[in-house]
Structure 1
Amino acid sequence: MRKFGLIGKKLGHSFSKKYFTEKFEREGITDAAYELYELPRAEELTTLLQQEPELVGLNVTVPYKEQVIPLLDELDEAAATIGAVNTIKISNGRTKGYNTDYVGFKSSLEEFYPEPARKQALVLGTGGAAKAVWAALDALNVPYLRVSRKEGEGQLSYTQLTSEVLSDYNLIINTTPLGMYPQVEEAPELPYDNITDQHFIYDLVYNPNQTKLMQKCAAKGAKVMNGLLMLHRQADAAWNIWNIEY
């Protein structure tokens, strides 16, 4: 039995096990199982691999997408460039890190944010998921600014998001866990009165289906999307990586 799974600190929000279990049933895959592994620290990955020798593939979620990198034997070139890992392939006792968040986000954004509407983006958050988003925006030639609690070079603080800024940046991408189940009433501190029907809001959170951020922006006429399509596409890309023999 080949084992796959997801590692993270808290996984109560995750749909990954459901997605892969249904995939295995739908496609008649009988030699595979997918489990959730909550780890108190990223370093517990080493212990997990010792305890579960049948593991051949892992997904990685917050807050470990950057922290697992020094624990791996090898990095895929794209993951090294991005600086974050969300997929690990385990083969012959060696681990190699990949980033399929980039694949899932880029393809879904292209469908959601049509080329004629493209201007500039604000990316909320600066963690591992944000790094994949930055790389995808670079590939699509969409200029962006990072938004965090503190300002910096190429980075605004939330208090600097004025009406003028929002009029110039019509794509807002939330890469933070704000609003994720079970804290569903949370939302990023944005000047929601300045959101218009010209804005596109992409929230990487997918549980709940419509986050508080999405609700508040949709009420202003903005186009909104959650991260479920990204989840499915990055999962399919991970499955392909795990099943490549080399």
Structure 2
Amino acid sequence: MIKLGLIGFPLGHSFSKKYYLEKFEKENIENIDYDLYPIENIADFPKLYQEDECFKGFNVTIPHKQAVMTFLDELSEEAEAINAVNCITIERKNGTTILKGYNTDAFGFQNSLEPLLRPHHTKALVLGNGGAAKAVCYVLNKLDISYKIVSRSLNNGDITYDTLDEQLIKEHTLLINCSPLGTFPKIEECPAIPYEFVTDKHLLYDLIYNPEETTFLRKGKERGASTKNGYEMLVLQAEKNWEIWRNNF
């Protein structure tokens, strides 16, 4: 039996477990299990794969996407550039265990965003500055889209929410929510931006997928903007994870 799993804390309702188990059943993929491993202290991570050689890979989520890198032997190019990992392969050779980290968030985000981009989407505001924002900024750099990171404190971003005005919103027609604001069950929350300046030229992208339409997206849609939630990004990165693991079995 090959084991795969998700580490993070807390893990609550996980998209990953449901997605992979349904995929395995639907595609008749046998002898592979995917489970949740809530680890509060990342120092406990090595016990999992050291004590059970069935483990071939992991997904990594909040709050361990950077801390887990301490335990890795290799990084893919994008994981190194982003400085965050959400996918790990485990290879055992001649008694040596080799862990390699990848970042498939970037792949998922880029491939779900690109079809929606229009020629005027040349500047973005990235709302939030966590691990997900790092993958988003990596992709924006690749696509030659300039951006500013918006945060509650200037220590963590380029500008603060309270400095957003009509001119900034008008200039930056791509608005990307990388913060957890609006995630179920606190669905009434949303980033504190001046939505009255959003127009039909704007594209609002929310990395959140639950609820399907966040308050951030609803407010954008009310102003005529195009909107996209994070579900397709999640599916694309999940499939990329599977491709990486499968090539390593």
Same fold (TM over 0.5): yes
Asked if residue 213 in structure 1 is aligned to residue 216 in structure 2, the reply is yes
Asked if residue 183 in structure 1 is aligned to residue 178 in structure 2, the reply is no
Residue aligned with 1:10, SS: coil
CA offsets per residue over residues 6-41 of structure 1, 9 Å max, x none?
112122243111111111111110111111222212
Q: Alpha-carbon deviation of 1:48?
A: 2.7
Alignment match of 1:107 (pick from 104, 107, 111): 111
Contact 2:121 2:172 in 1 (8 A): no
Once structures 1 and 2 are overlaid, which stretch shifts more, 201-210 or 64-73?
Answer: 64-73
CA distance in structure 2 between the aligned counterparts of 1:153 and 1:46, rounded to whole angstroms: 31
Q: Alpha-carbon deviation of 1:154?
A: 6.7
Alignment match of 2:177 (pick from 167, 174, 177): 174
Residue aligned with 2:25, SS: helix
Asked if residue 236 in structure 1 is aligned to residue 245 in structure 2, the reply is no
Residue aligned with 2:204, SS: strand
Asked if residue 95 in structure 1 is aligned to residue 95 in structure 2, the reply is no
Q: Alpha-carbon deviation of 1:153?
A: 9.1
Contact 2:91 2:248 in 1 (8 A): no
1:142-181 paired onto structure 2 within 5 Å: 142-151=145-154, 155-181=158-184
CA distance in structure 1 between the aligned counterparts of 2:155 and 2:225, rounded to whole angstroms: 28
Q: Which residue pairs with 1:8 in the alignment?
A: 8
Once structures 1 and 2 are overlaid, which stretch shifts more, 131-140 or 208-217?
Answer: 208-217
CA distance in structure 2 between the aligned counterparts of 1:3 and 1:31, rounded to whole angstroms: 9
Partner letter of residue 98 of structure 1?
Answer: Y
Q: Alpha-carbon deviation of 1:152?
A: 5.3
CA offsets per residue over residues 189-245 of structure 1, 9 Å max, x none?
111212222211110111111112112221222111111100011111111111114
TM-score, normalised via structure 2 length: 0.92
Residue aligned with 1:218, SS: helix
CA distance in structure 2 between the aligned counterparts of 1:211 and 1:13, rounded to whole angstroms: 17
Partner letter of residue 137 of structure 2?
Answer: W
Q: Which residue pairs with 2:81 in the alignment?
A: 81
Partner letter of residue 200 of structure 1?
Answer: L
CA offsets per residue over residues 100-150 of structure 1, 9 Å max, x none?
111111111101223x23220011111211111111111111111111111
Residue aligned with 2:67, SS: coil
CA RMSD across the alignment: 1.7
Q: Alpha-carbon deviation of 1:97?
A: 0.5
Partner letter of residue 12 of structure 1?
Answer: G
CA distance in structure 1 between the aligned counterparts of 2:243 and 2:220, rounded to whole angstroms: 35
Q: Alpha-carbon deviation of 1:52?
A: 4.1
CA distance in structure 1 between the aligned counterparts of 2:64 and 2:248, rounded to whole angstroms: 26
Q: Which residue pairs with 1:43 in the alignment?
A: 43
Asked if residue 27 in structure 1 is aligned to residue 27 in structure 2, the reply is yes
Q: Which residue pairs with 1:198 in the alignment?
A: 201
What are the ranges of 5 or more consecutive residues in structure 2 without an aligned counterpart? none
Q: Alpha-carbon deviation of 1:51?
A: 4.6
CA distance in structure 2 between the aligned counterparts of 1:184 and 1:78, rounded to whole angstroms: 32
CA distance in structure 2 between the aligned counterparts of 1:203 and 1:219, rounded to whole angstroms: 15
What are the ranges of 5 or more consecutive residues in structure 1 without an aligned counterpart? none
Contact 1:13 1:180 in 2 (8 A): no
